[in-house]
Structure 1
């Protein structure tokens, strides 16, 4: 049986191999109970998202680029960065849940009003994950990577926890401009947020859905950012190709289950 396990690489320290294995497991576990529940009813949510009024769908599709750019620029001003509690404190996730509940109280109208705050809060959580791995959270590269993480998938996809396309091919965004990146990621972000709005569409009942979705989304994106920036740190220390090869070798079997 041990012959089937990934073997240590001579050009990658055993400690790095162990950390990569832990990161693969961390990414897979990012799908908590609420995320699994969202996946289980994904067809229903997708149907409701597609059934959003054309006016609301148009507002979402047209406005998402502006929301992403706004979050990016706000995150660059250190003084205005979201003040999040320490990493081991769960209260920031509770704050996201409270915002989702408030957004869902009045149905789709209040959910749209709440959307920019949720995006900014999640973006700030990803910046904090970067800081924990030794990167400057306000730097242009980190903020671009946060956008890339936000748009490279989402908690509605069943394989995102170990999706090699998500974490295994883009550890940097060198040479990518802000507008080009936003154009690339905006459709995926709009799809994820469309599911969120669909869940909040019914007044009062939408409050409970909004709280659960916001909590789950905050947890998901923060965890995936921790994985992404940890891999980036390892890549800078040991070389990108060898780190990505080790990631793919361990992540692929999980993705195929």
Structure 2
């Protein structure tokens, strides 16, 4: 498949307004979700301690397998389920989290690969909405890069989060599996925290639903920033890396440097 390119460069594109909108999306990506998690009394730095030792040690492998299966399942689902609005995917993920959390850790383990597939499908839908073909290998790489952003249960690191905006797999002949191997360790920590949050006694179903709501909302917003910036770079005929730096400055509350 070939990549579907956004419209040709146009002077009508309001660069300043679009960058400001993307900066607002980035800053607000985990606001409401984090408030919900805080209300549950979830402490991200201690969540992983809830998991059994053998599970913590196998998180990287579990994450890699979940990503590999989810990549194929998310893309194949496009043939029989059309793009759905963001709220519909968020509602479905929330329901899945509730069912998984109600079953404790075993239920959460069954639910995890399904939710991972749903999250990737949601990211692919955002890519398509911005004019890119989710079947193109370069776009599949980008969808995985969105997952390399810190999740909503991880302490915010703007430098690490913004890295996904500018990172592309540079190695010639690299495969999706190569990228999965690079993304998996970072995502394993995030998914491990998700699993742990769903083991909270009594509140398992509520925690599962809330965490999935947070994850789906967060990654859809991160995808909008990621693919919105790529679309904007093409629309205004500006280097992508230059726009990344402009966006970084806006998020930090600085005036972007102009050349």
TM-score of the superposed pair, with normalisation by structure 1: 0.82
> Is the contact made by 1:162 and 1:252 (CA closer than 8 Å) also made in structure 2?
no
What is the alpha-carbon distance in structure 1 between the residues aligned to residue 61 and residue 176 of structure 2?
17
Counterpart for residue 17 of structure 1: 16
Specify whether residues 162 and 93 from structure 1 end up closer, same or farther in structure 2 by C-alpha distance, changes over 3 A only: farther
Specify whether residues 79 and 25 from structure 1 end up closer, same or farther in structure 2 by C-alpha distance, changes over 3 A only: closer
Report matched runs for 1:99-118 at 5 Å: 99-118=96-115
TM-fit CA distance, 1:48:
2.9
TM-fit CA distance, 1:78:
5.6
Specify whether residues 163 and 185 from structure 1 end up closer, same or farther in structure 2 by C-alpha distance, changes over 3 A only: closer
What is the alpha-carbon distance in structure 2 between the residues aligned to residue 199 and residue 76 of structure 1?
28
TM-fit CA distance, 1:252:
2.4
Name stretches of at least 5 consecutive residues in structure 1 with no aligned partner. Answer: 1-11
What is the alpha-carbon distance in structure 2 between the residues aligned to residue 104 and residue 142 of structure 1?
32
> Is the contact made by 2:145 and 2:164 (CA closer than 8 Å) also made in structure 1?
no
Counterpart for residue 248 of structure 1: 248
2:219 maps to 1:221? yes
Number of matched residues? 240
Specify whether residues 81 and 125 from structure 1 end up closer, same or farther in structure 2 by C-alpha distance, changes over 3 A only: farther
Supply the RMSD in Å over aligned alpha carbons.
Answer: 2.7
TM-fit CA distance, 1:51:
3.6
> Is the contact made by 2:154 and 2:190 (CA closer than 8 Å) also made in structure 1?
no
TM-fit CA distance, 1:31:
1.5
TM-fit CA distance, 1:59:
4.1
Specify whether residues 168 and 136 from structure 1 end up closer, same or farther in structure 2 by C-alpha distance, changes over 3 A only: closer
